[in-house]
Every structure is written in C-alpha cells, then in structure tokens.
Structure 1
Amino acid sequence: MSNSYAQRHGLQPLGAGIGLRRSFYETLPATERTVDWLEIIPENFLALGGRPQHTLDACAERWTVLPHGVGLNIGGPDPLDEEYVTRLAALVERVDAPFFSDHLCYSRLGGVYLHDLLPLPFNEEVVEHVVPRVREVMARVGRPFLLENPSYYANMPGGTLAEADFLRHVAEQADCGLLLDVNNIYVNAQNHGYDPRAFVDALPLERVVQIHLAGHDRYPDVIIDTHGAPVCDEVWSLYRYVLDRSGPVSTLIEWDQAIPSMEAVMDEADRARAVLREVAR
C-alpha cells in the first residue's frame, strides 16, 4: 500500500516466521529448514542469562527477531511500568528488532498482574487514555510499535465505538502500526456474530505491519483462542482475503499451547510463505 506505515518506517515484509519457544531451544538455532524470522515473548528474556540468552543470541545472528509482549498493559489505569519499559527497550536494542508489539488491552490492575489479556471498552475516553501511553512507549524504545487486536468473550460496558473504529482511532491518533491477528478476527466474529470480512474492510490496512495466524478450540457455544491447534481452513481463507487487500505482510504462526514438533510448526509457516509468494506475484 502506498504511503503505508511500513513504508514510512522503511519496514519490508519479512516472510513467514515462527515463535522461539523453550521446546525449540536445542534444535532451532541449527535447523536447516527455511525460517524467515522469529518472534519472542520478551517477558521470557528480560532477565537475560544462561540458556535463554545463549539461544536468543544464536538465533539473532541468523534471523530477524521481533519482541511481542504480553505485559505492557497499554490500556490499564496503572502508570506504565518504568522498569519494564526500560528492560524492553534494552532487549529490542540487543536483538536490533526493526519493530516490536504488544496487545491493545489491559493486563494489570492496582499493581497486580492479572495473567490475562483483558478487553477495553471501545470508546473515545479509552482512546484518549491509550494514545499518549503508546506515544511514550515508542519514544522510550525508539522503534516502530504495533498494537494487536485481542480476542475477547464479552463486550466491556461503556462501549460507544465499533471495534474496527476503535482500533483505527488508536492507531491513527498515536501514529502506530497494527499487528493483525487473523485468528482473533475469526474467533471474535464467530462469538459475537459479525462478518469477519466486513471487519477487515473497516480497518486501516495501510497500518498493518505484521499478521498472526493461530489455531483455536471450538465448543458448542463458543470458540476459545488457544493457540493450541493448526490454523483452520476458514482462517487461511480470511488470511488470503486480508493479503489480497494489503499485499504481503510479515506473518507469524503462533503456537503457545500443546506445542507440537518444531517441524509441524514449520510446516504451517511453509504454507503461509506459499500464500505470501502467490500474493506477491
């Protein structure tokens, strides 16, 4: 897309990546299979030392590494955690990440981490709260920053905006990028009864710099975003729908529970890479 967020910051599509998970520490640094880039959960590496640091350094010599956090608490009422942001900035610098990301949610209340990514009310008051916090994080870390659309199972009270408009307002007013989780779009659309393609059409796709693909668990009355299964056909189809409108975007296969062999995760990344190449042609 012309004049996109990625272009303004000199960010090129990286291809298809996988997450650096503990079960891959031994095998991933020496793999001969194609891996375009890696994503890390920075909270696992903020206190560097020992085996995690050795593995991260070895991987960073081979691949681009992108930190994707769960603890920034960008939407919470508590002040930003100064020590966390300082350590995050040092980690981003250490791996020389071209950009970093976290979730548009809250995860801490009254100084207590809730160990969950909880949804925000979709309204202008929350936009006005989040925007200066995003700007502060970007200034402190000194790299482009992306916010991810989270999955959610209840609409928070006080919402006055559609979710896509809420995402747009935050991203445009803060001038940050978006990490579009296509599985989350599908899960939310199924659980809340809306058209996922219409949702995509309402987004500022020119701000999408990264995509997540993941699996979910289906129950009779709800779909749960578990990151514990292969990407389903409907999500692959929605992914292609997004790329047809956005062009190629750095894509991650996200697998955090019931993690299979590294080869199985790489097979999913191969499939994403094939779609990216088709779109590029």
Structure 2
Amino acid sequence: MSTPLMTSISSHRIASPGFGLGLRTDHYHAILSEKPDLDWFEILSENYMVAGGKPLAMLDAIRADYPMVMHGVSMSIGSANGPDLAYLQALKKLIARVEPLWISDHICWTGVHGKNMHDLFPLPYNEETIAIVVNNIRRVQDVLERPLVLENVSSYLSYSSDSMTEWEFVKTIAEESDSLILLDVNNVYVSSVNHGFDPMDYIRGIPIDRVQQIHLAGHHDHGDYIIDTHDREVADPVWDLYAKTIARFGSVATMIERDDHIPPLNDLLSELQIARDIAARTMKASQKSAA
C-alpha cells in the first residue's frame, strides 16, 4: 500500500543550509584531509546507485562530516510512461543510506522505451505535458515517501505546441504536484539568450515559497547562442542575475556545479566565496531598505 503524501510539501521546505559544492571524485582526498569550510555537498545520485566499492566508501566517509543532498539525472519525470520503478527502488535504497536533506532531478525527459540517452531534453510547455509530469511526480513522491525538488533545464529549441512560457510551466507543475523547485540561475540565463526573453521575467514568475535550492555554473558563449557546459567559472551576467535572484527569494541554499575541466578544490571554494559575498551584500541591502 502506498504511503499518503504530506498535506503540503511546500510548507515543509527546509531552511537554507548555506553554501555547497557538487561532490566530485577529484576532490575526495582533499575533502577528507582538509575538511574545507563548506555547509553541504550535492551528490549525483546515479554515481552511487551501486552495490559497493570505493564510491560508496568515500561517500560514507565524507557524509560523516557534511550534510548531503541528492541530485539525479535519469528520472525522466517528463516521460509519457513515467519513471522506471526499478530505478526508483534503487534510488530509495540510496536515500536510506545517505539520509539527504532533499532529493532533486530535472523537469525533462531522458529517454524512450527504457533506453536512457544521457541527456536532459526539454518538454513542450502546454497543459497536456503538465498533466503527465504532475502525475509522474505524484507517483514518484508516493514511492520515495519524500518530496521532490525539480530543476529547470537549459534549452536550445522550442516546440510548436508550446502554449505558455517556461516559467509558467515550471510554476504550474510545482503548485499542482506540490513539489519544490531547484532554480538553476545559469540555465535561466542560457535559455534567455537562446530564446530572447528577459531573465528577470522568469525569476519574477517563480513562486518564492517553492524554491529550495539554487544552482550556479559556467557556460560557453557562442555569441548568438549559449551552451550550458559546467566546465568553467560562473560568468559575470549569471552573477548579476544571482544577485537579483537572492533579492527576490532571500536566503536560499546555493551551490556551484563543475562537471568538466574540474579545478583544484580550493579554486572552487574561492568561487563559492563570491556567491557567499553576493548573497551577504544583497541580503544586507534588502534588510536596510526594509528598515
């Protein structure tokens, strides 16, 4: 028998634990030996959905010192057939081991007919898609017995069947499924350039009480379009948008993603300090203006 979901997931949004980084194999030993000043780590769930070995041993050692959140890339919440039950059961087993603050994935589809194509494909922004996604989220939350936090993806195309903006799509999904949002500020900026909208329209269109986490990352600017690459530093326009995001949403758990050309841990810690400083200045200015 399935377990009933809590009445309002959004009312159980976790207070910000501060600033974190994605846990990457390149940094395992530095983390264990240096105990860096970090508030939490985000793990890629699929990297640890294994029977044993070094990844799980490292994970157990590091999570003894730091809170964790889990971030997946294979749930395919937008698939017409819904997420795979075997995948969800394996994910639930990892949840029991890690005891994460929250679990996240992406508002997208990643494959068809049981084949994962290892990419995050955007969805049509319309009522039919919303109905599919909302139903899938409810099923997943029922299986996991935990709320889902779902991330906006960067996009490079639009569908002729779109009938609303992306931010209206994300907002409606969160509210109808009673899930939470991982707001990727870099993805908002990337998509704003690729599709020609004002990124602040997106930020203003997302409900404040739904945002659990923020992602920051680097991208490759090709001039008239941008590719989300996660292989370089956060760009200045994204830092500017982050400041405006914090001004709207207040204190939100923030982390930097780096998935390629991974630098030494101290370099990422220095970059994360920029986020800390921006958030502190923005919050101080907001408090001063409210006084």
- TM bucket, shorter chain: over 0.9
Correspondence for 2:70 among 67, 72, 78: 67
Q: Is residue 189 of structure 1 aligned with residue 208 of structure 2?
A: no
Residues of 2 paired with 1:48 and 1:271: CA distance?
A: 38
Cα separation, partners in 2 of 1:96 and 1:280, compared to 1, 3 Å: farther
| Aligned-partner residue type, residue 98 of structure 2 | V
Aligned residue identity for 2:105 = D
Q: Quote how far apart the aligned CAs of 1:139 are.
A: 1.7
> Structure 2 residue aligned with 1:198, among 193, 197, 201?
201
Tell me if 1:251 matches 2:254.
yes
Task: Select 2:153's aligned residue among 150, 154, 158.
Answer: 150
Residue of structure 2 in register with 1:207 after alignment: 210
Residue 83 of structure 1 is matched in structure 2 by 86
Counterparts in 2 of 1:157 and 1:111: CA distance versus 1, 3 Å? farther
How many residues are paired up?
277
| Alignment gaps of 5+ in structure 2 | 1-7, 285-291
Query: 1 CA distance for matches of 2:32 and 2:12?
Result: 29
Q: Does the 8 Å CA contact 2:76/2:82 hold for their aligned counterparts?
A: no
Match of 2:3 in 1: none
Task: Indicate conservation of the 8 Å contact 1:107/1:113, yes or no.
Answer: yes
Alignment CA distance shift 1:268-1:157 (3 Å): same
Match of 2:134 in 1: 131
**Corresponding position of 2:122:** 119
What amino acid is aligned across from residue 234 of structure 1 in structure 2?
P
Say which structure, 1 or 2, has more relative contact order (CA 8 Å, 6+ apart): 1
Deviations 1:148-204 (CA, angstroms, capped at 9, x unpaired): 000010002311111111011100000000000000000000111110012111111
Moved more, 136-145 or 176-185: 136-145
Once the 2 structures are TM-superposed, how far is the Cα of residue 132 of structure 1 from its aligned partner? 1.4
Contact 1:78 1:111 in 2 (8 A): no
8 Å Cα contact 2:171/2:206 also seen in 1: yes
Per-residue deviation, 1:135: 1.1
Contact 1:15-1:276 within 8 A present in 2 as well: no
- Secondary structure of the residue aligned to 1:167 is helix
Distance of 1:34 and 1:63 partners within structure 2: 10
CA distance, structure 1, for counterparts of residue 49 and residue 63 of structure 2: 15
- Using the TM superposition, give the Cα deviation of residue 29 of structure 1 relative to its aligned residue in structure 2, in angstroms: 2.3
Q: Distance in 1 between matches of 2:218 and 2:209?
A: 25
Equivalent position of 2:52 in the other structure = 49
2:172 is matched with which residue?
169
8 Å CA contact 1:248–1:279 kept in 2: the answer is: no
Q: Which amino acid aligns with 1:197?
A: M
Letter in 2 for 1:94: R
| Contact 2:154/2:190, CA 8 A, preserved across alignment | yes
Kindly provide the amino acid, as one letter, of the partner of residue 72 in structure 2: G
Partner of 1:58: 61
User: Which deviates further from its counterpart, 256-265 or 136-145?
Assistant: 136-145
Counting aligned pairs with the same residue, the percent is 39
- Supply the distance in 1 between the matched residues of 2:201 and 2:13 (Cα, whole angstroms): 29
Aligned to 2:41: 38
TM, length-normalised to structure 1: 0.95
Q: Deviation at 1:280?
A: 4.3
TM-score if structure 2 supplies the norm length? 0.91
Alpha-carbon separation, structure 2, partners of 1:5 and 1:222: 37
State the secondary structure of the residue aligned to 2:59: helix
CA distance in 1, matches of 2:262, 2:186: 17
Offset at residue 10 of structure 1 (A) = 5.2
Residues 119, 10 of structure 1: alpha-carbon distance in 2 compared, 3 angstrom cutoff: closer
Retained in 1: the 8 A contact 2:193–2:224?
Answer: no
Equivalent residue number for residue 103 of structure 1: 106
